Amino acid sequence: MTKPRLEPLLWLLFSGGGVIAAVFLPVLVVLFGLAIPLGWVRPDYDHLHAVLSYWLTRLVVLGLLVLLLFHWAHRFRYTLHDGLQLRRLEAPLAALCYGGAVVGSVAALLIVLTL
Amino acid sequence: MSAPTTYRQPISRLWWTKKRTYFLFVMRELSSVFVAWFAVFLMVMLIAIGRSEAAYQSFLNWAALPVVVIVNLVALAFLVLHTVTWFALTPQAMEVRIGGRKVARVKMVRVAGKTVPAATVVRIGGRRVPPGMVIASQYAGLIVVSAFITWLVLR
C-alpha cells in the first residue's frame, strides 16, 4: 500500500487522465495511428513541427501525456491486483506502475523541451 | 490468542471469464494498457518530429508496418470502449451540487480499485440535470475536441 495520503491524489490523476483519454485519444489514434501512417492524409512536416513547437501546444501535450501515464499506472495496478489476484505483490506492483508513470513523465518533459 | 479462523474462499485467477459482465469489466480496466501504448507511441512520434523531417519519415514507415497498424486498430477499439464506459460512468461517479442538496446514494460502482457512489445527481440551480444530458454534453465535448484537433493538424 502506498501512503494513504497519496491515494486521493493518485485517484485524482487517474480520473483526470480518464477524462483526457476519453475525449482526446480516439481522434489522436485515428489521425496519428491510422490516417497519417497509412497515407489517407498527409500534413506536411513543417506544419506539424510549427504547431507542436508552439509553447501552448507543448504545455498541453505535456499535461496530456502525464495524465495519461498516471491514468494507466493507477488503473493497471488495480487490474493486476484484482484481475489476477496478485494481492501479495501489492507493493512491488504499485512501485512498478507509478514508477513507470514517473519515468514516462520525465521523458515526456525532456521530449517536449526539445521540440 | 488464536489466529483468525475465518475461511476465505480462494478466487480463481480466471474469475473474470465466468460471466459476461465480469469479462467486460476487465476489458474496460484493460483499456489502460492501450492508453499507455498510445502515450508512448505519441512520445516516439514527438521525438522524431523534434529531430528532423527524415526522422519523421522513418517514424511514419515504422508506423505503417502491418503489426503497428493492427496494434493501433486494437487500441482504437479499447479506447472507444474506454470513452463509452467513462462517459456512462461520469454522471454516476460525479458529485456536482450547484444550488442543490446532497442526494441519496442508490448503488455503488467499482472503478480502478475504488468503489464510488453511483446514481449521484447533477443539479444546476436546484434543478436536476438528467443523466442523459450529462452523457450527451460529454459527447458534444468529444466532437468539439476531435474537430478542433483534426483542423489543427490538417489545416
Assign residue B42 the CATH number of its domain: 1.20.1300.10
Domain residues for B136? Answer: 15-154
**Is A55 a residue whose pLDDT tops 90?**
yes
Other C-beta atoms within 10 Å of B54: how many?
10
Distances (CA, A) of A106 to A31, A69, A102, A111, B34: 25, 11, 6, 9, 20
Q: Which of B46, B75, B150 sits opposite A111 (nearest CB)?
A: B46
Number of structural domains (chain B) is 1
The pLDDT, as a whole number, for residue B49 is: 97
Whether the Cβ atoms of residue B59 and residue B110 lie closer than 8 Å to each other: no
pLDDT at A84: 77
The nearest alpha carbon in chain B to A7 belongs to: B114
Q: What is the pLDDT of residue B111?
A: 67
pLDDT tens digits in sequence order for chain B, 155 residues long: 566 677 877 778 787 788 888 888 888 989 999 999 999 999 999 999 999 999 999 999 999 999 999 999 999 999 999 999 998 887 666 555 545 555 444 456 666 666 665 555 565 666 666 778 888 889 999 999 999 999 999 98
| A24 pLDDT higher than 50 | yes
Q: What is the pLDDT of residue B117?
A: 57
Beta bridge pairs of residue B115: B110
SS3 assignment, position B135:
helix
pLDDT of residue B98: 47
Question: Quick check: A1 pLDDT over 70?
Answer: no
* Whether the predicted pLDDT of A18 surpasses 80: yes
ipTM: 0.93
**pLDDT over 80 (residue A71):** yes
Q: From the list B40, B42, B141, which residue is nearest A32 (CB)?
A: B42
Q: What does the buried/exposed string (b/e) look like for A10-28 if buried means 16 or more CB atoms within 10 Å of the residue's CB? A: bbebbbbbbbbbbbbbbbb
Q: Please check whether residue B104 lies inside any domain of the structure.
A: yes
More confident residue, B58 or A7: B58
Distance CA(B127)–CA(B125), nearest Å, equals 5
The full set of domain ranges for chain A reads: 6-113
- Residue B1 forms part of a structural domain: no
Residue B127 confidence (pLDDT) = 65
| Contact (Cβ atoms closer than 8 angstroms) between residue A52 and residue A61 | yes
B50-to-A47, A113, B56, B143 alpha-carbon distances in Å: 12, 9, 8, 29
Provide the grid cell at B39. Answer: 502515450
Yes or no: say if B56 and B6 are a contact pair by the CB < 8 Å rule. no
* Per-residue model confidence (pLDDT) at position B104: 44
Among B31, B40, B149, select the one facing A28 at the smallest CB separation. Answer: B149
- The CATH number of domain A6-113, selected from 1.10.10.10, 1.20.1300.10, 2.130.10.10, 3.20.20.70: 1.20.1300.10
pTM of the entire predicted model: 0.83
Residue among B41, B142, B65, B64 at smallest CA distance from A35: B64
| Cβ neighbours of A61 in B, within 8 Å | 42, 46
And the C-alpha cell for B84?
Answer: 463509452
